[in-house]
Every structure is written in structure tokens, then in C-alpha cells.
Structure 1
Amino acid sequence: MFSNKESFKTSFLKRLEGMYGKVFKDSTKREQYQTLGNMVREYMSSDWIETNELYRSDSNKQVYYLSIEFLLGRLLGQNLLNLGIRDVVVEGLNDLDIDLEEIEEFESDAGLGNGGLGRLAACFLDSLSTLNLPGHGYGIRYKHGLFDQKIVDGYQVELPEQWLRHGNVWEVRKPDEAIEVSFWGNIESRNENGRLVFNHNATEKIMAVPYDLPVVGYETTTVNTLRLWNAEAAHNPPHHDVLRYKRETEAVTEFLYPDDTHDEGKILRLKQQYFLVSASLQDIVSNYRKKNHTLKNLHKEVAIHINDTHPALAIPELMRILLDEERMSWDEAWTITRQTMSYTNHTILSEALEKWPIHLFQPLLPRIYMIIEEINERFCKKLWEKYPGNWNHIENMAIIAHGLVKMAHLAIVGSYSVNGVAKIHSDILKNREMRNFYEVYPDKFNNKTNGITHRRWLIKANPQLTNLISETIGTDWLKDPYQLIDLKRHAYDPALKEKFDKMKQERKAILAKRIFEQNGTIIDESSIFDVQVKRMHAYKRQLLNVLHIMYLYNRLKEDSNFKIHPRTFIFGAKASPGYYYAKKIIKLINSLAEKVNNDSEISKVLKIVFLENYRVSLAELIFPASDVSEQISTASKEASGTGNMKFMMNGALTIGTLDGANVEIMEAVGRENMFIFGLTAEEVQCYEEKGGYYSSDYYHHDSRIRGVIDNLVNGFFPDAFGEFDPIYDSLLGEGDQYFVLRDFSSYVEAQERVDKAYYDREKWREKALINIAHSGYFSSDRTIKEYADDIWGIEPVGIRI
């Protein structure tokens, strides 16, 4: 049906009429999208079936990637690109007077993630398929995802994310493969032939119903699977209140990250996590049993990867299966489990290293808690042998302590590999945050610097730059992003720099149009597009960016001789519903935008845009248009970052701290092609350990800082009296945890270097091209090859390599 445009048009019209019972001229754009989506899914189905059959018959090792998030974005355009049929479809639709980009707008971004964690998982799935590696994803099919963000009077308002309102053309529901997951109840033990056997009784069961999505590789016939679980009521629920049971069951897969401010929300989050791992582990074991009579060699054919701590309950769940269902001994089950599980740590922030109160955990998951208790007891016994009498050391490393179950500790103890996601992050884990564990398990720890798929973030998102690169260095880089380095020798070519500038202006015009349509704000397309788009969090320091804009505003108002290149500051971020402080930062950004954008003089030089409901499809417009990439987290706090790589790949220059993957980007492109500022990770850690930082000193001794801090409370925002007191207090009264004021002067100086550098457009374009040339290293293909070789031990088994 996609062999040529005539064949495509015939199939498209026939399918549309058959699906909707109407002629083409009466069809809607949504119906056209649904028709095309169904055709594409059907087109890849034979390869999907063949890939699954190959995996069932092949004895090679396979990896199962467990993640609470998969931030896929829209799939139509990506699938057309990977299948190599986009040109045929565009030509055929054009003949029918249909714009592909217009009907793509009718696809919702899949509400399956929030930020970098979920987007990384999506990039990894893309690379697994493209590299013909046997890899499966397991996640949750959230009905509403996180939330739809609306900005009302400058405040974030959360609305249910209705991404499934019109269905999901890519998914296949498989109710016959549903799996029971058990909660609550009680545990009875009995002696059976000299062995202690445990029964989980009086449980509340819910059904995990799988929905499968195909993950197609680029120019290959490998189609892997992302299996998403939906929580549904059991057929005969043993529950006295059926309506309550139904509501509680549906709540398990209703929202990503339920608010865990109170115990009810904590229980729901924990329930959600166990639901994911129990359904997934049972499914993995069931598939393995179809090929093998015993699970004794499970670890030789199966690798299970835990993406952050959310799926860490996979460790005790596999132990439960091996102990209670397979009747293995503890030692045998533990050996298999530890040789099967690997874990990626994504944070050093203590609040993000999950800890569950025992009084909630034990009643909900009684058998799992028993197993974790036993793991902890045996682990602490070994620690006692290594550190006899050192109770404090053992207490700090224990999996269960102070009434809490510590998931990061469980993940480390129960896996054979623990990796960070950037060199500096992995070093911090080994030398500081997880030093105690590194001393016990030095061979477990390793680094796998994150990567992004250039197929989504360059080839699909930026066809103008894609064509320019291919015209310059050929097309080999499309399959091998390392080949982008060939662009470096052309970076000094005046003709190429001129073409690059024209391409950038075209992309800026596209984004400016979207900003006007969405916000009603007219922006100067010749201004510097200075962009910070990422999850709203104090350590990411959107506040530092805002205080700098306030400083620029004050300086421009006070000093008529102060001149800067026009600058458009673009923000995009969601704050977690319960994150009060982050919501205040969003309100501050929008209040400042209202003041600046409505100042008739200043708005000629400065504009501020907050793009609500930041998501993958919006990001695909933002990255290609950006000039400056804000990567300004407090050094040592950002594990890696992947937005920094997407900006770099699209020719934006980084202003950033030496944090996360910024360090490796600098090593690749050279310090002269970035704008580095601020404290180093070592300096931050020194302050945290020894003290000596007093934010009030910077307030009193720097008039620039004093001016912007006072603006938070002195009526600078006339309609926001008292609104920003919590921000003021956090910076002065509470010690400025993330060193915003300490780094302010260095940040201002770096921004002055940005402004000066942009005036030399020839040199700026050269720096941008050098960044693009070095971006190939930061491909998720490279990252996945490293995982496959160094951690999982899997090899390509695709149909066509």
C-alpha cells in the first residue's frame, strides 16, 4: 500500500470509506489521521509478528526495560520516517489536498511521562529497535498522564490530560493475556516436607491488562514492543464494596505520579509501582517458561533493567516467584535475582531516592515486605562481618531503617550493575552519595552517559538542518550519527555559515508563529532566542534565569547608555501539583512577563514567553529555533540532562554550569564554544559539608542582587503583594539551598559574554556548527550499545542488519 503514491492513495481512500462509511470529501481531519495511522500500524504488523516469532524461537539473551515513564511524543511522523515511507505519504496526501503536518496535529502526545526520565526511555526503545537488539519495554498505560497545564492569571492550573479521548491508534489491547496482581491480605506459613512454604491469603486482586505498542527501528525490519499495563477490575472481586473497589482499581493507572503529600497518595503510588513490576515479572517469567522447563538459567537469557527506583520492587517480586512458585531455596533464588537485575540511578537528591514508611508498605504488600526484611537481614549480617561493631555504618546502609524501606539501597543490593548517567554523576555516586556501597561492591558501579535519538530530535524535528548537513557531508550520518563529526571541517566555510543562519531564521519564524498563536505575543525573530525548557524544580534554577532578567530590566530602565542585543527569553515547564515553591516560580515568570512585555520601551529589547503545557511535540519546535540553551542547575545536582544534547544537536550554544553531561559536552566541543559559569561540583559539596556560605552577604554587598531581591517584595509587581515572599525567604531566610545568589554574578558575566559573542555572527555560527558536529557522541545509539555490551550482554538478532 506504500509502494508508490498511486497505490497509497487508492488504499487510503478505500480504508477511510471502509472505516467511517463516508466518502472522502465528507471526512474530517481527525478521521484522515486515524485512517493513516491504522494503515501504518498494519504495514508494520508483519515485521512486528516476525520479530516476536524470532524472539520466541531464539535462545539469545533479551532485555526487559522497566520504567514508570515512557515519554513517546507523537508517533505518526516518527514511524513514517523510520519505515522510509514518509515521502510517498506526503506526495499522495498532497494530491488529495491534505497537509501531513496538519493531520499530525490531531495526534495527542502520549501521556506516559513527564520529563527527562521518560524521554530517555523512549529514545532507548528507538535505539534498541534500530540496532536490531532484542529489547522490550514495560510501563503503565496512564489514562490521564500527569496533567494538562494551563496558565490562568499567571498561575499553573492542572487539568486532566485527555490524551486517550479519541483512542490510541498505535496500541493493541490483549485482554486474553491479562495478569492478576495481589494486594493486602495476610501471609500464612506451613511446613511442607521440611521446607517453610508461604501462602498469601485474603488478597485484593486487580487485573493488569496489556496494551502493546510497536516500536519500529530506522530502516530495519525489527519491530520491538512496548507493553503498557492498564488496571481493571477482576471478574469476581472478593470485596464487600464493589463500587469502591472499582474506583480504587482504576485509580492505579489513572495518573502518573499521584500526589503523595498524604498517606492515601503514598499508598496509591506504591500500589502503582508494584502493579507495574508484578505484572511485568509474571509476564516475563510466563514467556520464559514457554521455552524452558525451569527458571534456573533465567539470568542467562533474561536481563531486567530498573530505570530509577520506581520499579525496584522487581527484585523482591522475582524472589517471590522463585521462592513461592518455583520452590527454590533462598540462596539459589537470590543468586538468580542478582544476576538478572541491573539498575540505573538518575539522581542524587535525597527526596528523589524513594523511601516508603513501613506502616504503609507492610499491610499493602505483606509477602514482598517479608522478602525485603530477609534481604535486609542477610545484607546487614554481611556488613557486620565486614564492619564489626560499626553500627552507625550498618544503619546508614540498611535497606530497612528508621521505619522506612529504602528503595535505592534495595536496588543496589539486589542488582549486578549500578550505573550513573554522566561521568560526573557516576563519580559523585561512587565517591560521595553511594560511597559506602561502592566500597562493598566496587565492581557493580559504572557509567553510561545518556544519549538522545537523532532520528527524533534532528531528522524529524529539523528537516531544514537535516538537509543542510546531508548536502554538506553526505547521508552516512543518518544511520551513523558519529559521522556528524565530518561537519567540523566545514564549520569555517562562509557559505555554509550563511546557509545555517538562513535555516535558523526559518526555524525561529516557525516558533514565533506558534508563540503568537498560543500566547498572542509578537516576538522579534532577529532577537536571541534564549531558552530554558525542563521540569520546574528549585535545583534546575529557573529562578536564577528570572533574577537575571529582572536585573536586565532594572539596568535598562536606569541606564540609558546600557545596550544589549534584543533577547527573547522562552520558558516551558510543569511543576508537580504538590510542589508549592515551583508553582511560585511559574507565577514569578508570568508576572515578570506581563510587566516586561507591556513596557513600551523595554519590550523592544526584552520579551518573555512562558509556553504552557510543555511536551514533546512542542519541544520539536523549540529546539531547532533556539540560539542559547540554559543548562544552569546547581553543580552536582543534575545527573545528566538530555535537553542540553537536543539543543546542541540543533546548533544552540550552552550557557551552563559544569554539571551532568555539560561536562562531557564541554570536553567534546571545547570551553570556547560554550559559556561556562558558577561553582563547581567540588565547591558546592565543600559548602554543603563545611558550611561557610551566607546568602545575606551577597545581598548586602552586591547592589544588583539587592535590587532584584527587593523587587520580590517591594511592590515591583503591583498586583502580587506578598505573592513572592516564599521565594524571598528561601534566598535570605532559609540560606539559599541551591546557591542562586552565590552564582548570580558569574551568571551575569557569562550572559554578557553571550551578548558580546552574538554580535560576531560569523563566529557564532562557527561555534554552533562545531556543537552540531560533536553531537553524534551523544546519540542514544552509542548509549544503548554500551548498555548492551557492558551490562546486559545482548547481541543483535534482527531480521535484517
Structure 2
Amino acid sequence: MSTPLSDQEKRKQISVRGIAGLGDVAEIKKSFNRHLHFTLVKDRNVATPRDYYFALAHTVRDHLVGRWIRTQQYYYEKDPKRVHYLSLEFYMGRTLQNTMINLGLQTACDEAIYQLGLDIEELEEIEEDAGLGNGGLGRLAACFLDSMASLGLAAYGYGIRYEFGIFNQKIRDGWQVEEADDWLRYGNPWEKARPEYMLPVHFYGRVEPTAGGVKWVDTQFFEGKELRLKQEYFVVAATLQDIIRRFKSSKFGCRDPVRTSFETFPAKVAIQLNDTHPALAIPELMRILVDVEKLNWDKAWEVTRQTCAYTNHTVLPEALERWPIYLFEKLLPRHLQIIYQINHLHLQRIAAMFPGDTDRLRRMSLIEEGDPKRINMAHLCVVGSHAVNGVAQIHSDIVKNTVFKDFYEVEPGKFQNKTNGITPRRWLLLCNPGLADIIAEKIGDDFVTDLYQLRNLLDFIDDEAFIRDIANVKQENKQKFATYLEKEYDVKINYESLFDIHVKRIHEYKRQLLNLLHVITFYNRIKKNPSKHFVPRTVIIGGKAAPGYHMAKMIIKLITAVGLVVNNDPVVGDRLKVIYLENYRVSLAEKVIPAADLSEQISTAGTEASGTGNMKFMLNGALTIGTMDGANVEMAEEAGEENLFIFGMRVEDVEAMDKTGYNAQEYYQRLPELRQAIDQIQTGFFSPAQPELFKDVVNMLMKHDRFKVFADYEAYMTCQGKVSELYMNPKEWTRVVIRNIAGSGKFSSDRTISEYAREIWGVEPSDVKIPPPNEPSISSS
């Protein structure tokens, strides 16, 4: 096989991004050298690759600045309704390449840097991932910001600028070790401080230093809980002060307040709460309106409810925030008073609707009795918002029928579904330019902003050349990623093997253990029949475990232990490899997702709210093996269930088993391959120096498994057999890939945000093009 083209070489070919004009290249080179000399105060005799990255970043940022200023001017002049997206996480990843693509500068920058004798890929790799998030929730928020900008919404994201991100994950002797994510140690060219808008945030009834010189905190200890609550209040207090400042000073050039009435506040301001972490926005807005702006309670409550909306992201009870009353008494006593009053009036209303139903009052109260008493933040969000949405149809149904059933019966019109999406700019154009070009050659490049146009690829389902091109770009991506793996992990990878990828947060409900049981069973089958033909697999698992989550850390250790045995067994050879991806993050996802053949989405039905990794894999030409959970259900509807590898219990099956009881021992006794795998784990086959190392994992699987791994094992093994069977027919496999890509149009975050805009926020997407002032002309042709 020929060596695949590098991304830089691909970019120089005619593609969806066009050819750079000579004037553009000269202007970028001039700007690059100016920043190297006058911003970084260096010349090329002493400059480092990092200096070159910063010079390029500042060059690209220059093209944003004029647009940014003109956009703010336009907002002040036209005074549109503004959307404020509150999230404790924004998992942005890297910014440089994404910005070049969105500005149409990538081709010109590539050529300019090439002419300067530098490698743009090397400069892109220098950039740190922005440490502002922790997986799916934060990455969704980042995709949403991309779509808000692309759709021309007057929208702002509000979060915490964590000085230290969640953590950098190191795998040492198979164990996860957390190291500080000092992502800002070299500075960040993509931010601009605004000290003139510094605002006070009050705790304990007096002014305290903010909780913003911050790191991501573990909430299993009291100190962590207190700091986390401080962070949550800090972000909403600072955000609401900024929102109200903007609301009052709405006209261009006017720094003095021009609005004093809050009658129009909901008509000009929409606040979206991304999960329960910013729930304190509700009592904080009430405090401002009642205590500072002197509105009466009823009017303040009307304004607050009409302004706020809440997105629920989980059905797991332990993931719904519940704060101890004593913490509020200590940190936020006024807010506790407000929450008590909200709850009192709320329960009065419920009691009038359902006389004598005291159990309903208990279930719907914002205050949960117990030791200690706790505030249910999800209930606060539901009561204090005019709209509540889930993030996939199956999840929204569960929200209405179980999690918030009582609330749905009272206000059914409040509940909506907004199926998640991903930005195709980052998750196709940026990470998979080869595939993007092949698609553009067939259907044009309008799919970048209208992903439903991918449906037109079905016209080429029998086009032999197109099938070959799709297969070739996948093989190139696999070879490129395999080279990365060999360099990083010193493991020889079979490029022709099936790349079986399972990357997401490590959690019992995501069932990495089910995947691992398949790996062990596959290993045992090879050992039992070494001369038999098996479809070779490279199994790649990655993700971080919460620092205090013992079982998740044990799962990581078990995966690495199994990999150590499998990868060094000469009988197995290159037919099976197991690799644990260290420090999974956005920039690593951009490498692994385009290379995937198979996407593992195997959570227990009814536990995954939506997922967005599944959508990214689908868009990039991986086939999905999964349960009917989260967005998998809608993916099956869009691509056809026959084009996904669906297995296992459905939600109703899980609910029925919950009633009758789940007996892991029954499956252990009945299924000999499962029993062999569990016995190997239990007796130390994968940990001979410590035979009882994984006894906690086995004990959980046998006695305390809420997520019923054994119940789906047999169906999963059968389905994996179907995967291997189809993979042996490359042409048919690629046809199924094309059907999946064609069916992924629904899962653009542009569609999701358009639905939020029209159905929750009351704003319309805009295609108005605001001309930037005094900016060098950049041609795309």
C-alpha cells in the first residue's frame, strides 16, 4: 500500500476549501513576521516552534477581531434578543485549525507557512487542548457555540476559565494517575481579559476572593463539595451581573443604563442552563430582581421563569445534584431563603391541585428530607424554567415518564426533546479532510452548513469508484493512526485489522467491561483454535475515570492487564491487539474517530441520555455496534436499523428485569465462555503477581451489577460475530458505511440549535453577513 498523504499535502490539493490567492499568502506571511517581531519580540534566530505557533495564532486572530467588534456593534445597534448559554464545562479542544477552517483561511495559511519553511501540522500540535471541560457535556457545549455562531445568533457562552483543567491522565503500571492540567502555562492567544468589567461575588455575607483561580475539583470530600458549590455560584453570579449590564446598556456607544424596567427582560434575554450545575441562576436572578431591582416577588418569579430554560443530561439518580442544606446555610444563606420560598409556593400550588396527596408533595419538593436534608437542584431547575428538554427522544420519554413524571403531569407543555448534535466543521472538515473532499466532489460543499444534504450520497451507493474512494480514505486514516499508536505505545499494529474503538468516560453504565469480556473470549477462542481463521482486530479503549471512582479505576487497570497478556502472546500475534489510549481528549478524538471501523456504543438501555461520540463515528464512516439507547435509536431510524449492529435488551426489557430480578449467577453457570473469562479474571490469569487484584470487579459483576453486563453478553457476542462476517466482505461493508454517512444529516448541532432557537429561546437564526471593518480581503478562490 502506498504511503497516505499527510493532511498538509491533502490541503494543497484542490478541495472544498479552494485555492489560496497569492495576495492572501503574502498578507499572512507579513502578519506572521510582524507578530513574531512585535508581539513575541523575537526573530527567527532565537524563535522556538512554540513562538511560531503563537505568531500564527495571532495572525489568524487578527482576522477575528474586526468581525468580533463589528458584530458587537451590530448587536448594540439592532438590540436583538440574546441567548446566554450557562455551562460549567466547555470542552473546546484546540482553536487554531478550527478557526482557520471557519474563516476560510486554511489553504492560505498552509501555503504561507510552507513558504516560510515551517510545518503547519507541527505548529498545530503545539497548541494545548483548552482545559475547560470533562467529556460529553462540555464537548456538546463547544459544538453548540460553533453552531450558534454559524447560525448568526446573538449568543454568549458563560463558564469558568479553569486555570487547571480536569486533569492529565497518565497510565503507570496500568493504573490511572492524575496530573495537573496546566494548560495555561504558556499563555493563551485566543483569550482577552476584560479587567474593566471585574465584578464582586459575595459569600458568607461578605466579599470573598472569587473561586475562579481554579482547578477542576473532586466532590467526594467536604472541601471539594464546598469549593464546587462556590464555583457554581461564582459562575452564575458573575454571569447574571454581566447579562443585566448588557440588558441595561443596550444601545451602541452608551455606557450609562438606558433600561430601568424589567418588563421586557424575557423578551430580550434567554438563559439556557446546561444541566443542573448552573441551577443557582434561578435563585440568584430572583435575589437580584427582588433585593436589588425591587420587583415584587410575583413579578420577579414571572420574569425568572420566562427567562430560564433547563436541559437535563442524565437519568442516573446519583448524577442529579443534591446539595446539603448546611452548605447553603454557611455559604449562601439568602439563596436558601429564596429556595425555601420558591418551594413553599410550589407545594401550595401542588397541594391545591392534588388535595391530600402528601406523597406527591414529598416527591415533588425541592427539599429532600433525610440526614442531612438536601436541595434537589434538578427539581429547582424544572420549577424555575419555562422549558425542560431531554437530549434524545428516548431520553426525553424517560424524563417525562420516570425522572420528572410528577412534574410532567402538572405541566406537560413545558417538556420537549432536543436531540443532540455535533458540528460538522470540526468533526468532518477538520478531522477528516480526505473524506470531506470525496463527499464534496459528489454533492458539492453546501453540506457543511446543511448536513441533511448527505442524504444525496445514496445516489452513489453502487458507484464502484465512490465505494473505492471511501474505502481508501478510511484505510489511509487507519494507517496514519496506526503509525501514531506504534510511536506512542510501542505496539505493532496490523493496518488491515478491524479497528474496534470504545472511547468515552469510564463508567459502569457505559459497560467497558462488556467490551472487555468480548476481548477475553476472542482471545480464548484464538488460543483454543490457533490455526482457525479469525478476522483480526485492534481493540482501542480510552477515557478518564473520576479521581474518586474506585471501580472505574479498577476497570482501567483490568483493561491494561488484559492488553499486556494479549499483546505479548505469540500464538495470538497480530490477530488481536488491545490498546488503552492515555489521556483521551478532543485533539486525540480528532485522530482516532476518522480511523475507526467499529464504534462501541453499548450502554445498558435506558442509561445513556444521548451521546455524541456515536454521531461523530457515524459521520466519519464507522459502523455502530450498540444497544437501543440514547441517540443510537434515532441513528437506527435515520440509517436503517439493518445498517447498525443492534443487540441486547431494550428499555422495556431492562424495566421488566428490574421487577423480576437480575441473577448474574444464572448467566455465569449457563454460558461456558463467560464463565471461563470471569474465572480467568478472578484467579489472577491477567494479574499473576496479585491473583486477587480484581476481586472487587468480579464481586461487582456477580453480585452488585446495576447495569446487567452478563444479561447482554450472549447477544453481544453473537452481534460481534456478525461484525466480523460483514468485514470479510469489504465492498458490502463500505456500502453500509455510505448508508450511515448519508443518514447522519440529522445529527448536526446546527439542526439542534435551530430547534432550541425557535422552540425555546424565541429567536430566529440569521444569515445576515456583517462586513468586518478595515480587514484585509481574503479570497477563497
- TM-score clears 0.5: yes
1:494 to 448, 456, 464: 464
1:255 to 215, 228, 247: 215
* Deviation (angstroms), 1:796: 3.5
> What aligned pairs does 1:233-632 form with structure 2 within 5 A after superposition?
249=211, 252-256=212-216, 258-291=217-250, 292-402=259-369, 403-560=373-530, 562-632=532-602
* Deviation (angstroms), 1:440: 0.7
CA contact (8 A) 1:140 1:253 kept: no
Q: Deviations over 1:107-136 (max 9, x none)?
A: 100000011100110000000111111111
Q: Which letter does structure 2 place at the counterpart of 1:385?
A: A
Give the distance between the partners of 1:299 and 1:21, measured in 2 at CA. Answer: 48
Q: Which letter does structure 1 place at the counterpart of 2:208?
A: K
Q: 1:408 to 1:499 in 2, by over 3 A?
A: same
* Deviation (angstroms), 1:253: 4.2
Indicate the residue corresponding to 1:40 in structure 2.
60
Q: 1:253 to 1:770 in 2, by over 3 A?
A: farther
Q: 1:3 to 1:121 in 2, by over 3 A?
A: farther
2:69 to 49, 54, 78: 49
Give the distance between the partners of 1:3 and 1:339, measured in 2 at CA. Answer: 51
Q: Deviations over 1:65-123 (max 9, x none)?
A: 00010011100000000001111111111111111111011110000001110011000
Give the distance between the partners of 1:673 and 1:373, measured in 2 at CA. Answer: 52
Equivalent position SS for 2:583: coil
Give the distance between the partners of 1:587 and 1:692, measured in 2 at CA. Answer: 30
Q: Deviations over 1:667-686 (max 9, x none)?
A: 01111111000100111122
Indicate the residue corresponding to 1:743 in structure 2.
712
Give the distance between the partners of 2:415 and 2:106, measured in 1 at CA. Answer: 42
* Deviation (angstroms), 1:797: 5.0
CA contact (8 A) 2:511 2:602 kept: yes
* Deviation (angstroms), 1:720: 3.5
Equivalent position SS for 1:609: strand
* Deviation (angstroms), 1:799: 4.6
Q: 1:253 to 1:310 in 2, by over 3 A?
A: farther
Task: Say whether 1:667 aligns with 2:626.
Answer: no
Indicate the residue corresponding to 2:748 in structure 1.
779
Q: Which letter does structure 1 place at the counterpart of 2:591?
A: L
* Deviation (angstroms), 1:562: 4.3
The number of aligned residues is 738
Give the distance between the partners of 2:213 and 2:43, measured in 1 at CA. Answer: 38
Q: Deviations over 1:252-292 (max 9, x none)?
A: 54222x11112211111111100110110111011111132
CA contact (8 A) 1:555 1:562 kept: no
Unaligned runs of 5+ in 1: 186-202, 207-230, 232-248
Indicate the residue corresponding to 2:186 in structure 1.
166
Q: Which letter does structure 1 place at the counterpart of 2:311?
A: T
Q: Which letter does structure 1 place at the counterpart of 2:268?
A: E
Give the distance between the partners of 2:321 and 2:334, measured in 1 at CA. Answer: 20
Greater displacement, 113-122 / 475-484: 475-484
Q: Deviations over 1:720-746 (max 9, x none)?
A: 322211110111122x21010000000
Give the distance between the partners of 1:625 and 1:632, measured in 2 at CA. Answer: 19
Q: Deviations over 1:304-325 (max 9, x none)?
A: 0000000011000000000000
Greater displacement, 632-641 / 11-20: 11-20
> What aligned pairs does 1:748-763 form with structure 2 within 5 A after superposition?
748-763=717-732
Q: Which letter does structure 2 place at the counterpart of 1:653?
A: L
Give the distance between the partners of 1:720 and 1:773, measured in 2 at CA. Answer: 49
Give the distance between the partners of 2:562 and 2:769, measured in 1 at CA. Answer: 55
Give the structure with the higher percent strand. 1
Q: 1:630 to 1:777 in 2, by over 3 A?
A: same
Q: Deviations over 1:558-588 (max 9, x none)?
A: 2345432000000110000001100000000
Indicate the residue corresponding to 1:790 in structure 2.
759
Give the distance between the partners of 2:199 and 2:150, measured in 1 at CA. Answer: 30
Give the distance between the partners of 1:19 and 1:427, measured in 2 at CA. Answer: 54
Q: Which letter does structure 1 place at the counterpart of 2:147?
A: S
Indicate the residue corresponding to 1:31 in structure 2.
51
Give the distance between the partners of 1:154 and 1:63, measured in 2 at CA. Answer: 45
CA contact (8 A) 1:158 1:577 kept: yes
> What aligned pairs does 1:201-216 form with structure 2 within 5 A after superposition?
203-206=206-209
Q: 1:703 to 1:615 in 2, by over 3 A?
A: same
Give the distance between the partners of 1:153 and 1:50, measured in 2 at CA. Answer: 53
TM-score by length of 2: 0.93
What root-mean-square deviation, in Å, do the aligned CA atoms of Structure 1 and Structure 2 show?
Answer: 1.3
Give the distance between the partners of 1:38 and 1:415, measured in 2 at CA. Answer: 41
Greater displacement, 637-646 / 471-480: 471-480
* Deviation (angstroms), 1:798: 6.1
CA contact (8 A) 1:134 1:796 kept: no
Unaligned runs of 5+ in 2: 1-20, 251-258, 771-781
* Deviation (angstroms), 1:2: 9.5
CA contact (8 A) 2:461 2:738 kept: yes
CA contact (8 A) 1:71 1:114 kept: yes
Indicate the residue corresponding to 2:678 in structure 1.
709
* Deviation (angstroms), 1:7: 2.2
Equivalent position SS for 2:200: strand
CA contact (8 A) 2:646 2:719 kept: yes
CA contact (8 A) 1:629 1:647 kept: yes
Task: Say whether 1:726 aligns with 2:696.
Answer: yes
Equivalent position SS for 1:140: coil
Give the distance between the partners of 1:98 and 1:775, measured in 2 at CA. Answer: 37
Equivalent position SS for 1:65: strand
Give the distance between the partners of 1:620 and 1:2, measured in 2 at CA. Answer: 30
Q: Deviations over 1:672-718 (max 9, x none)?
A: 11100010011112222x13321111111111111111111112121
Indicate the residue corresponding to 1:127 in structure 2.
147
Q: 1:606 to 1:437 in 2, by over 3 A?
A: same
Give the distance between the partners of 1:290 and 1:95, measured in 2 at CA. Answer: 47
1:176 to 196, 200, 206: 196
Give the distance between the partners of 1:473 and 1:454, measured in 2 at CA. Answer: 15
Q: Which letter does structure 2 place at the counterpart of 1:99?
A: D
Greater RCO (Cα-Cα under 8 Å, separation 6 or more): 2
Equivalent position SS for 1:458: helix
Q: Which letter does structure 2 place at the counterpart of 1:262?
A: F
Give the distance between the partners of 1:85 and 1:126, measured in 2 at CA. Answer: 17
Q: 1:519 to 1:560 in 2, by over 3 A?
A: closer
Give the distance between the partners of 2:333 and 2:22, measured in 1 at CA. Answer: 54
Indicate the residue corresponding to 2:647 in structure 1.
677
Give the distance between the partners of 1:409 and 1:548, measured in 2 at CA. Answer: 40
Q: Deviations over 1:211-241 (max 9, x none)?
A: xxxxxxxxxxxxxxxxxxxx4xxxxxxxxxx
Greater displacement, 438-447 / 33-42: 33-42
* Deviation (angstroms), 1:607: 0.2
Give the distance between the partners of 2:758 and 2:476, measured in 1 at CA. Answer: 41
